[in-house]
Amino acid sequence: MLRSDRHYAYFCNRECEYFPCHPTDNPEEFNCLFCYCPLYVLGDACGGDFKYLPNGRKDCSGCLFPHRPENYDAITARYEEIAATMKRTG
């Protein structure tokens, strides 16, 4: 859960017309900070619960990983990997 000294690691936008954008039993702990998941670009290596649609796009609607406050560090720890992937794929 969110530590009180790390307010930067959590943001909840209950006024968003899509809130919550994924089904959840805990909307009070839904983190909107990574609304567009930075791990998406990692494809199969993102570590989330996704599936591929027939058109080849990832369907992340079943994934709550970036929306759990406790996963902030796990996501930001992968920024170098994300940047390298973006550089490699153009």
Round to whole Å and give the CA distance between 19 and 23: 9
Percent share of the chain, pLDDT over 90: 81
User: Amino acid identity, residue 26?
Assistant: N
Residue ranges in the chain modelled with pLDDT below 50 = none
Residue of 31, 30, 60 lying closest to 46 (CA atoms): 60
CA 7 to chain centre: 17
Round to whole Å and give the CA distance between 5 and 9: 9
SS3 content of the chain, % helix, strand, coil (to 5): 40, 5, 55
For the chain, the domains span: 7-89
